[in-house]
């Protein structure tokens, strides 16, 4: 009897975990550069004295979907999308370094270049500080140039270059802040072949239709698992009646 109860319990528990991950994907369907989480279920034998007597359901986090979203034209100078493969190196307020394709850039009150999540954009020399200027241009290689206050139309000063990397997807893992990190804890090497497209933003790669279908399937799966509790209760009551007889 306990086999049925524990199997149903782990199935219901892990269905809720998958539903939570799927809900997070839906919530970020309009987040620039967001990479969808991917889950799948697996059967895990329970080992103890003797042979395994049962298998429990377990939600396995398969990682994230590395596919690129669509590049959407915005015409805004500070918007940049990564063309093809690659990532921008960013840093959180806590000093955590990660990789992102979110390119809705702006300048914070301290003059630092940050994205819409508030993460600092890293350059070859660390966080990129932008002084007051009349215009700013971001080249395809990530080079940031400005026209100083009072400068001529053709007078451009190079500030820094956005630090761009291109590690393989199987070397990356997704962290709590939605940022990507190297699985082994190292830092990816800069890649001069990664390019950015100014005036564009990359959309989320979440498939909303698929996510809605998953939500329905997970809800039905959870309902089926909870019904097994009632089945186990009825079987237990029937066994008790037989023992009394």
Q: Say what percent of the chain tops pLDDT 90.
A: 58
Residue with tokens 């955590």: 96
Inter-residue contact 172 to 182 (CB < 8 Å): yes
> Does 50 or 106 have the greater pLDDT score?
106
Q: 186-217 burial, b if ≥16 CB within 10 A, otherwise e?
A: eebeeeeebbbbbbbbbbbbbeeeebeebbee
> Does 1 have pLDDT greater than 60?
no
Of the candidates 163, 201, 203, 204, the one whose C-alpha atom is nearest the C-alpha of residue 76 is 201
Cβ count near 227 (within 10 Å): 11
What mean pLDDT, rounded, does the chain reach? 87
Q: pLDDT of 143-173, one tens digit each?
A: 999 998 877 777 889 999 999 999 999 999 9
Q: How far is it, in rounded angstroms, from Cα 108 to Cα 147? A: 19
Model confidence, pTM: 0.81
Quick one: CA torsion of 158, 142, 123, 192, rounded to 10 degrees? Answer: -120
Cβ count near 16 (within 10 Å): 15
Q: How far is it, in rounded angstroms, from Cα 98 to Cα 177? A: 9
What is the token pair recorded at 73? 């034209």
Q: How far is it, in rounded angstroms, from Cα 157 to Cα 146? A: 5
Q: For 105, phi and psi rounded to 5 degrees? A: -85, 155
Quick one: CA torsion of 107, 116, 62, 70, rounded to 10 degrees? Answer: -100
Could you tell me the CA-to-CA distances from 208 to 67, 98, 175 in Å, in that order?
15, 26, 22
Q: How many residues would you count in the chain?
A: 245
> Does 12 have pLDDT greater than 60?
yes
Q: pLDDT of 36-45, one tens digit each?
A: 998 876 666 6
Could you tell me the CA-to-CA distances from 120 to 11, 34, 46 in Å, in that order?
41, 17, 45
> Does 183 have pLDDT greater than 70?
yes
């Amino acid at each position: 009897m306990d086999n049925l109860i524990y199997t149903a319990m782990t199935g219901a528990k892990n269905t809720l975990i998958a539903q939570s991950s799927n809900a997070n994907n839906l919530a970020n369907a309009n987040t620039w550069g967001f990479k969808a989480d991917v889950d799948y279920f697996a059967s895990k034998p329970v080992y103890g004295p003797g042979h395994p007597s049962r298998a429990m359901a377990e939600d396995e986090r398969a990682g994230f979907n590395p596919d690129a979203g669509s590049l959407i034209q915005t015409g805004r100078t500070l918007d940049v999308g990564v063309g093809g493969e690659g990532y921008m190196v960013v840093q959180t307020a806590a000093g955590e370094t990660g990789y992102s394709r979110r390119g809705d850039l702006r300048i914070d009150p301290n003059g630092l270049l940050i994205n819409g999540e508030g993460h600092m954009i890293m350059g070859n020399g660390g966080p990129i500080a932008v002084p007051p200027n009349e215009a700013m241009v971001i080249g395809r290689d990530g080079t940031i140039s400005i026209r100083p206050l009072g400068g001529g139309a053709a007078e451009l000063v190079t500030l820094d270059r956005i630090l761009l990397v291109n590690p393989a997807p199987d070397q990356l893992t997704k962290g709590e802040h939605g940022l990507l990190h190297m699985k082994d804890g190292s830092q990816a090497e800069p890649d001069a072949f990664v390019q950015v497209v100014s005036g564009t933003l990359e959309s989320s790669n979440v498939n909303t239709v698929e996510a809605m279908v998953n939500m329905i399937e997970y809800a039905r799966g959870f309902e089926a698992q909870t019904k097994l509790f009632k089945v186990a209760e009825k079987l237990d009551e029937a066994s008790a009646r037989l023992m009394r007889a």
